[in-house]
Amino acid sequence: MRCPFCHDLENRVVDSRLGKEGDAIRRRRHCERCGRRFTTYERVEDALPMVAKKDGRREPFERGKIVNGLKRACEKRPISVDTIEGIADTIERQLQEGGDREVTSQALGEAVMGALHDLDAVAYVRFASVYRSFRDVHEFMRELEDLIAKRRTGSGRRQGRRGGKRRSA
C-alpha cells in the first residue's frame, strides 16, 4: 500500500479490526520511510450491474445518480436525507441480490417512482414529470388523475400531517 504522505511502498500494519458497519476491515498502517500513520479499508467489491440506457449506451451503476434524482424530487418536502439514503440503499440492495449483470435505466426509474409513490405524492409527480418526459399537459394530467384514483381506492399510501398529530380547532 502506497503511503499517502511520501508515496513510499514500504509500510507495516499496526492494527486491524472490523469496521463500524461490519462490511470492511480497517487497518492502521505505519510508513517505514516517513514514520506517519494512515488508515486503509478493505471491502468486498460490490457486484452491481451495468445500466443499459435508452440510447443503447451502457455505463456502471452509480448510486449517486439515484440519490441526486431523489433529492431533486424531494426538495422542500418534509423528507429527511436519511429517508432518501434509505431508498437508494434499498434499490442498491435489490440490484445486488438480483444478481443480474445488466439493468435498464427504465427499471431503475420505475423502482424510484414506486418508492416515491408510497412516500410523497408531490415528490412522485416531480420525479415522474422528468422521468416520463410528458409530451404535453394532457399526459401530465392523466398521470395525476391515476395517482389521485389510486389514493382514493387505497392502493396508494395516504399522506398524514407533517407532525403526525391532528390539531384541534
How does pLDDT run across 57-101, given as a tens digit for each residue? 999 999 999 999 999 999 999 999 999 999 999 999 899 888 889
- 148 occurs within a structural domain: yes
33 plus 55 within the same structural domain: no
36 plus 75 within the same structural domain: no
Bridge partners, residue 50, by sequence: 60, 102
What letter would DSSP give residue 123?
Answer: H
36 plus 119 within the same structural domain: no
85 plus 146 within the same structural domain: yes
For every one of its 169 residues, what pLDDT tens digit does the chain have, with 9 covering 90 and above?
899 999 999 999 999 999 777 778 999 999 999 999 999 988 777 678 999 999 999 999 999 999 999 999 999 999 999 999 999 999 998 998 888 899 999 999 999 999 998 899 899 888 988 877 777 788 878 878 887 887 787 754 444 333 333 333 3
Q: What is the pLDDT of residue 167?
A: 34
Q: What is the pLDDT of residue 155?
A: 57
Give residue 39's domain range.
Answer: 11-43
- 85 occurs within a structural domain: yes
123 plus 138 within the same structural domain: yes
- 6 occurs within a structural domain: no
Q: What is the pLDDT of residue 37?
A: 97
> Given CA atoms 14, 17, 19, 24 in this order, what sign does their dihedral have?
positive
71 plus 136 within the same structural domain: yes
- 26 occurs within a structural domain: yes
- 82 occurs within a structural domain: yes
Bridge partners, residue 104, by sequence: 52
116 plus 70 within the same structural domain: yes
Q: CA–CA separation, 134 vs 116, rounded Å?
A: 18
80 plus 19 within the same structural domain: no
- 66 occurs within a structural domain: yes
Look at the chain and report how many structural domains it folds into: 2
Residue type, 169: A
88 plus 19 within the same structural domain: no
Q: Within 13 A of 167's CA, how many CA atoms are on the CB side? A: 4
